[in-house]
A = this chain, B = another copy of it.
Amino acid sequence: MAAGDPCVEASASAAPQDIVTIIVCSSCRDATGTDARPRPGEVLASATRAQNTASDVRVEEVECLGNCKRRLSAALTKPGAWSYVFGDLRPEAAGDLVAGAQLFHTSTDGLLPWRGRPDSLKRGLVARIPPLALFKDKT
């Protein structure tokens, strides 16, 4: 789009199309169920932010991803792509989340590749949600 395009200006505050966002559930407890602070989710979020050096990957926290049955949780999202939720993560999984995000960033088909995906993001898959663009030709 040309500079000054109103569509670009209107969406200037939203995520650019090539940014992968790691969303960590900061309220997640570990297997002991303790409320002690920092919560494992906070530890994972901080570690992920510290390990991420890519300008095209950002790390955010939310209070709850609704995945409490599978404990420590995070999501990977990219505009126009599928969104992924993972559970059963360990507080040490920060490197896996960063690696998964970088792998997702290289994807051109909207999917997080299976090949090369860290093991914790294979066995920890909880769900994936397609982008609405997947259905755009059917409306």
Binding site for B on A (CB under 8 A): 5-7, 10, 13-15, 21, 23, 58, 60, 62, 64-67, 73, 75, 77, 79, 83-85, 87, 125-130, 132-139
Contact = CB atoms under 8 A, between A and B. Distances in A.
Contacts of A60: 134-135, 138
Contacts of A66: 84, 125-128
User: How would you classify the secondary structure of chain A's contact residues: helix, strand, loop or mixed?
Assistant: mixed
Q: How many copies, total?
A: 2
Contacts of A139: 13, 15, 58
Contact of A14 (B10, B83, B129, B136): B136
A75 to B, nearest CB: 5
Nearest to A69: B126
Nearest to A1: B10
